[in-house]
Amino acid sequence: MVAALCFAEMGHEVVCVDNDESRVEALQAGEMPIHERHLPELMRRYWRTRQG
């Protein structure tokens, strides 16, 4: 997540995949399971869910 958000900040389109459903659900609910400075702000800026 840290690297993905940093790449997004640099202008790249990033797709993240995780096989842990509870982690994905937490992220979709706006929770950040990783404690790193500025990640919640970056996630709010770049997070979009893929539909279909």
pLDDT tens by residue, 8-38: 999 999 998 999 999 889 888 888 888 888 8
Domain count, the chain: 1
Checking if the pLDDT of 48 tops 80, the result is no
52 in a structural domain: no
The single residue listed with the structure tokens 């400075």 is 37
Mean pLDDT over 37-51 rounds to 80
The whole domain housing 7 covers 2-46
pLDDT at 24: 87
- Give the per-residue pLDDT at 34: 83
Threshold 0.85, pTM exceeds: no
Asked if residue 6 is part of any domain, the answer here is: yes
Q: What is the pLDDT of residue 52?
A: 44
In a domain, 11, yes or no: yes
Torsion of CA 43, 28, 35, 18, to 10 degrees: -100
Rounded CA separation 32/52 (Å) = 24
25 belongs to a structural domain = yes
